[in-house]
Amino acid sequence: MKAEYVENLEQLIGSDQNKIILETNMLHHLLSVSRLRIGEEVLLLNGKGLKVRVSTVSINKVQATFKVEKKEFFSTNSQTNFLTIGLCAPKKPALEECLKIIVELGLKNLIVINSERSIDINKHKERLLNVMISAIKQSNNPFLPLVSYNNLLSINFSEYEKVYLFDSFEEIKKRDIDKVEKDKKYLLLIGPEGGFSKEEVVSLNKIPNLVKLGLPIPIATTPTFVSFIIGVFYNRSVE
């Protein structure tokens, strides 16, 4: 179903639960690219758990009016809250692809990390938000991830039950992932494309709840690895 992101969706519904009016400048893609028509249904998302299925009543140059067909609110207490991805930012195209994957697979928590060998993400934040908005529209996911931007060694690793580290800086013998419990928090820390620096490795080795993992796969791009490792952890999760 065609979807659109409306940040203030809950406020727009207001007291009239049966009608939503949106300015046409908020609907550029639907009107100009998807050619939205009268009677066509659209899914409106606010990225915070609210999904509203509407049918198109009228469209003019200034605004579009929709009839509310169904409203759903999803709790943040979902199956994926136990996982946080800590992603040392790869090059921009790979980073954008990683964000799409993370959104489409339903991850709620993401830390985009500045490390010595990652790209500088500060000038890309607005673009990255737009990529994630595009991904929730594509996937009809009701949630945008909660994203924080941190330097590697500024992360509070102690708030996690375990910190799983994936990197190629040394021979890692452990390949099995223990079962993870959904009532606890786990951080999946994915290193930069050039690996961690020696100084970062020394600091990471001091984390008491750190688990280093190697996986039986060939060298892969960061987006491929992100998809793979999220799937592995979903498979290992227990109630």
- Residue 1: pLDDT over 60: yes
Q: What is the pLDDT of residues 42-101, one digit of tens each?
A: 999 999 999 999 999 998 888 888 999 999 998 875 667 889 999 999 998 999 999 999
Q: What is the pLDDT of residues 123-150, one digit of tens each?
A: 888 999 999 999 999 999 999 999 999 9
* Beta-strand relationship, 19-23 and 63-73: antiparallel
Query: What's the Cα-to-Cα distance from 177 to each of 103, 162, 227, 235, rounded to whole Å?
Result: 23, 11, 16, 10
Tokens of 189: 């820390």
Residues 65 and 36 sit within 8 Å (Cβ to Cβ): no
Query: What's the Cα-to-Cα distance from 60 to each of 4, 27, 38, 63, 174, rounded to whole Å?
Result: 18, 12, 11, 6, 61
Contacts of 198 (CB under 8 A, 6+ apart): none
- Integer Cα distance of 16 and 23 in angstroms: 17
Query: What's the Cα-to-Cα distance from 237 to each of 14, 80, 175, 182, 201, rounded to whole Å?
Result: 39, 9, 16, 7, 28
Return the pLDDT at 213: 78
Q: How many CB atoms lie within 10 A of CB 192?
A: 23
Query: What's the Cα-to-Cα distance from 42 to each of 50, 51, 109, 133, 216, rounded to whole Å?
Result: 14, 10, 27, 16, 43
pTM confidence score:
0.85
For the chain, the average pLDDT equals 86
Asked whether this chain's domains 3-73 and 83-238 adopt the same fold, the reply is no
Q: What percent of the chain has pLDDT over 70?
A: 90
* DSSP-assigned letters across all residues of 179-216: -EETTS-EEEEE--TT---HHHHHHHTT-TTEEEE--S
Architecture of domain 3-73: Beta Barrel (2.40)
Structural fold of domain 83-238: Alpha/beta knot (3.40.1280)
Residue ranges of the domains in the chain?
A: 3-73, 83-238
Task: Give the E-state strand segments of 26-130 in sequence order.
Answer: 41-45, 50-59, 63-73, 83-88, 109-114
Q: Residue 110 forms beta bridges with which residues? A: 85, 147
> Which residue shows structure tokens 């580290």?
165
- Integer Cα distance of 98 and 17 in angstroms: 37
